[in-house]
Structure 1
Amino acid sequence: MLWAPLIVLLGTWCTGSSSQPVLTQLPSASVSPGNTVKLSCTMSSGTSISDYYVSWDQQKPGNSPRYLLYYHSDSTKHQGSGVPARFSGSKDTSSNVSYLTISGALAEDEADYYCAMWKSGTAVPHSDTDRWGSETKTPFAPLPQPGPCVQSSPVPQFSLWL
């Protein structure tokens, strides 16, 4: 059996202050090829995840990050162009957790994964041309009002083995 690490990093699309809510992830998990795995981002207590949009991105070695999806509710979500339906978003508001579910994990899913959250009413990026860094600005989908983002430094948080 081929074992390939799938490293999940918690990333950010915008700057913020230390007084904002913090996102955390479990340190590790494992899944066999063909099985389903849920990657989680937990928002710190004192803030309700139900008020936030959650975006997930995938980055493979040597490539720019690829936008996968964002999720706010079952009626307010967006799937990136060409992103398979086996990638899906969800929330557990009672636990203040957002999930990226990969149904039927494949070897090609080996990548870094990033999550970010925005207060409802904030512009949310959703484009396959998303880029991180100074050379390319992220395209945004307009939503009603700008608002603060929630961020965390991109530190390895989650290891998934296929």
Structure 2
Amino acid sequence: MMSPSQFFCLLVLWAQESSTAIVMAQTPASLPVTLRETVTISCRASQGITNDIAWYQKSSGKPPKLLIYEASSRSSEVPARFSGSGYGTDFTLTISPVEAEDVAEYYCQQYNQFPLPQ
């Protein structure tokens, strides 16, 4: 059985770990797009995550599709018009040129720290 001081130390460690959760901020929230133009979506991590980020596409009625992993590696069968870049805290997803089938929601997800947010 743990002594009260051991329990307190564990509790303090847990509280410190949970307070340093990585927060991802994506911009813009939405934007009007013209076909054949270049679109860039940015994602900023609240702390450095090296290149541990993925970009997903969510089309209506379909499960999320992995586009980019490790910040810049394109998933199989993803067209070359999708590219990712960045390292540390600042990342971008670029679509160039935008096609009609690209109309969807896009989001970034860090996987540097677990558990991942729901």
Asked if TM exceeds 0.5, the reply is yes
User: What amino acid does structure 1 have at the position aligned with 2:68?
Assistant: L
Matched, 1:69 2:68: yes
Q: Which residue number corresponds to residue 106 of structure 2?
A: 113
- Evaluate the alpha carbon distance shift between residue 48 and residue 62 of structure 1 in structure 2; reply closer, same or farther with a 3 A threshold: same
Length-normalised TM-score, structure 2: 0.71
The alignment covers a number of residue pairs equal to 101
- AA paired with 2:64? P
Residues 1:58 and 2:53 aligned together: no
* Aligned-residue RMSD, C-alpha: 2.4
- 2:74 corresponds in structure 1 to 79
1:52 Cα deviation after fit:
3.6
SS of residue paired to 1:58: strand
Distance 1:17 1:81 in 2: 35
Aligned equivalents of 1:106, 1:28: Cα separation in 2: 17
Whether the 8 Å contact between 2:51 and 2:87 is mirrored in structure 1 is no
Q: Which has the higher helix share?
A: 2
Change (3 A) 1:56 1:92: same
Letter in 2 for 1:90: S
Tell me whether 1:48 sits opposite 2:48 in the alignment: yes
Q: Which runs of 5+ in 1 are unaligned?
A: 1-15, 120-147, 154-162
Q: Which amino acid aligns with 1:69?
A: I
Could you tell me which amino acid in structure 2 is paired with residue 21 of structure 1? Answer: I
* Larger RCO, structure (CA 8 Å, separation 6 or more): 1
Which runs of 5 or more residues in structure 2 are unaligned?
1-16
